Structure 1
C-alpha cells in the first residue's frame, strides 16, 4: 500500500472516532439537548399544574359542593384512563425510574416510554383539576427520564442506567429550581450504586436543566426567603422533638402506602380488587376532607407557604392533609407526593411551634417539614437541600440536617423499607420460581 493511502485511511479512522459522528460527540449533544428540553418541559408542566390547581379552587369557591360529585367521579375516570392507556404512569413516577435502571433498553418502551410520559403529564394535570392531593415533582422525574432516554436513542447511543438517573435528577432540579437537590437526589434515591462514570452525565444534565429553569423563570425561591435561625439552646431542644414527631409521622405514611397494596383485610382487599370503585371511594375521602376544610386540595403549596410566612392553620390541618394525600396516593391516579409531603410537614411544624412558644416560628416549621419529608422518602441529604434551597434558609443547615437524621432514624421504627424502593419492585417482572 502506498504511504498516501495509509495516511488517508488513518485520517478516516481519526475522523470516525473523534469527528461530529463520533459516539463521544453524539453523547454530549444528547446530554445538552436532553437537559435543555427537560428544563423547558418542567417549566411548562409547572405552569399548567398551577393553572389546574387554580381552576379547581375557583370552582370550589363558586360551588363548594361541586367537588363532592366531581372529585370521586374524576378519580374513577383518571384511574380508568391510566389502566386503559398507560398502566405504568400510575403513582409518583420515581419508583418507575428506579425499576427502569434495572433494564434500561427494555424500559424505554415501557416504564419510561413517551406514551407513559405523555400520559403522566396530562393525567397529573387532570388530577389537579379535580382537587387530588398530588404534586408534580415525582411525575417530572419520570417524564424527564423518558425524555433523556428517547434523546439518547435518537442519537443511537447505548442506554445505561445513568441516562435515566441523569434525566430524573435534572427533572428534580428543574421542578424545584434547585440544582444541588437534583445531584443529591440522584445519589440518595435513584442510584443504588453511584458509579464514577455517571458523574459527568448527572452533573451536566442537572446544571443545564437548572440554568434553563433560571433563564426562563428567573431566580425565584420556591417557598420564598425565610431568614430566621435558631440559637444553640433552642436547636438542642427543637431539633430532636421535630425529628421524632416528623419522622414517626413520615414513617407511618410510608408504611400505610406500602401496606395498602398487600393488606389482606377482606373488606379492603375486595374494594381494592375493583380499581374504579376503589378510586371513587378514595375520591370521596378527598372530596369530603377538602370540601369541609377548604385546605387539603391540590399540591398544598399555598398553605405551606402561608405557614412558613407566619400564617396559622387549624391544628388538624396536618392530619387532614395526611389522609387526603394517602387516599390520593393509593387510589392509582398519576401524581407525586413531594409537594403534599412538604405541606403535611408544614402542618406538623405549625403544631410544634404551638408547643415551643418563643422560638422563631418559621424555623420550627422548617424543622417539621424536613423531618416529615425525610421520614417519607428516607433521603435526609435531599430533604435538607430541598428545604434549604426552596426557602434560602442557609443559616438553618445544621439544625435541618440534625432533624433529618433524627427523622430518618425514627421512621425506621415504623417502616423498615424505603418507600420508593418498595414501590419500585411492583414495576419489576415477577421472578419465576426455579425448578428443582
Structure 2
C-alpha cells in the first residue's frame, strides 16, 4: 500500500508539473469516479475505514461484520484510495491500513471463531504499526481508540500481530523513522506559552474539522444538504474541484498526503503561511466527498503547517518543536485520543526532548476540542455505520 500510494502521488505531481491546469479536470473527474466505484462495487469502503472497524466490533451478526470488514471491502479500499491519490485527493494511506488489517485478520476467524472481535482489533493495531513503523502506537491506538478498554486475553494476540506487521515492514522497507529523528527542546517559561497556544489552536481547528465532517455525514440542513445526499457523484465532483483550487493556490503542495511538506517543516523549513489553512480546507473537502482515504497523514501535515504559522508569535521556539506540537494538537482535536496522538508523533521522530510538551499539548487540545466536538470523529461516524447495519 505504501509503495502504491507513493507512486500514485508521484504520477499526479508529474501531471501538474507538466500542465498545472490539468488538476481542474483530473481531480474533479477522479473524485466522481471514485465515489461511483465505491457506491456500486465497494460499499463501506468510503472514508478512512476506522469507523467501520469500530462498528464491526460492536455488531454481533456475522453478515453485518462481513459487510464492514470483508476482503472485498479491503481490496476496494486499496484500489479506490490509490485512485483518489492519483487524482490529487488530500488523503492518506495510514487510516485505510486499519480497515485492511482488520479485514485480513477477520478472514482468519474460521481458525478461531470465538475470537473474531479480538482478531479485528489485532489486525487494526498491526495496520497502524506497519503504516507508521510505530509498534507501540499500534497497541495504544487499539486500546484507546478502537477498544476503549484493555482486555488481558487480547494482549498476546494484539502484540503478536504488531510484531508480525513490524517484521514484515522491516523486511520490505527496512528500519526507518517515519519523519526522521529529531531533537528539539522547549525551555520552561515563555516557551510553555507556545504549548498552551498551539494546544488551543489545534483543538479548535481539529474540532471544527470533525464537526463539519459529521454534519456532512448527517446531511447539511436545507436544500443544498438534500441535493448532496441525493446526488453523491456530482457532490464529489464539486468537492474535487474545490480541492483542485486549494491545491493550485498552494503551488501543488496541498495535494496528496502532505508527508514531504510536514517532514520539511519538522526539520526546520518554514512553511508558507497558507499551507496549513489550505491543507485543512482540501482535507475537509476530500473527507466530505466520501472517497476512500485516511486523515492521519493530512492531519499531521495540517498540524505541522499550523505550528509553523505560530512561529510568528513564538520566534524563540524552534520551528521543528512548533510543528511537532501542532501535529499532536490537531490530531488530538480531530480524534480526541490524546495518548495515541502523542505516542504516534513521539515514535515517528524519537525525540525525547519533547515528551512532556507533547503530552501537555495533547491534553490542552482535547479539552478545547470537546467544547466544539462532544465526541471524537471516528466514534461519531461509527455510530452511523451501526445504525445502517440495524436497518
Taking structure 1 as the reference length, what is the TM-score of the superposition? 0.86
**Residue 278 of structure 2 corresponds to residue 320 of structure 1:** yes
Q: Which deviations, in whole Å up to 9, do the C-alpha atoms of 1:387-433 show, x marking residues without a partner?
A: 11111212211100000000000001111121000101121145979
Computed over aligned residues only, the root mean square deviation of the Cα atoms, in angstroms, reads 1.5
Cα separation, partners in 2 of 1:80 and 1:240, compared to 1, 3 Å? same
**Residue 188 of structure 2 corresponds to residue 221 of structure 1:** no
CA distance in 2, matches of 1:198, 1:265: 46
CA distance in 2, matches of 1:377, 1:306: 24
**Residue 79 of structure 2 corresponds to residue 122 of structure 1:** yes
Matches within 5 A, 1:260-409: 260-262=216-218, 263-293=220-250, 294-409=252-367
CA distance in 2, matches of 1:410, 1:182: 25
Q: Structure 2: where are the runs of 5+ without partners? A: none
CA distance in 2, matches of 1:392, 1:141: 23
Q: Cα distance, 1:215 vs. partner?
A: 3.1
Name the counterpart of 2:125: 169
Name the counterpart of 1:21: none
CA distance in 2, matches of 1:255, 1:332: 15
Q: Which deviations, in whole Å up to 9, do the C-alpha atoms of 1:75-131 show, x marking residues without a partner?
A: 011100000001100001000000010135334521010110000011111110000
Contact kept in structure 2, 1:371 and 1:407, CA below 8 Å: yes
Instruction: Give aligned pairs, total.
Output: 388
Name the counterpart of 2:92: 135
Pick one of 376, 381, 385 that aligns with 1:418. Answer: 376
Report runs of 4+ in structure 1 exceeding 2 Å deviation: 103-109, 155-160, 429-433
Q: Cα distance, 1:235 vs. partner?
A: 4.1
Name the counterpart of 2:66: 109
Q: Cα distance, 1:151 vs. partner?
A: 2.1
Q: 258-267 or 386-395: which moved more?
A: 258-267
Greater Rg over alpha carbons, structure? 1
Name the counterpart of 1:22: none
CA distance in 2, matches of 1:251, 1:407: 9
Q: Which deviations, in whole Å up to 9, do the C-alpha atoms of 1:250-282 show, x marking residues without a partner?
A: 111111111112221322332332011100010
Secondary structure at the aligned position of 2:20 is classed as coil
Q: 305-314 or 383-392: which moved more?
A: 305-314
Q: Structure 1: where are the runs of 5+ without partners? A: 1-44
Q: Cα distance, 1:295 vs. partner?
A: 1.5
CA distance in 1, matches of 2:35, 2:235: 10
Contact kept in structure 2, 1:108 and 1:146, CA below 8 Å: no
Name the counterpart of 1:90: 46
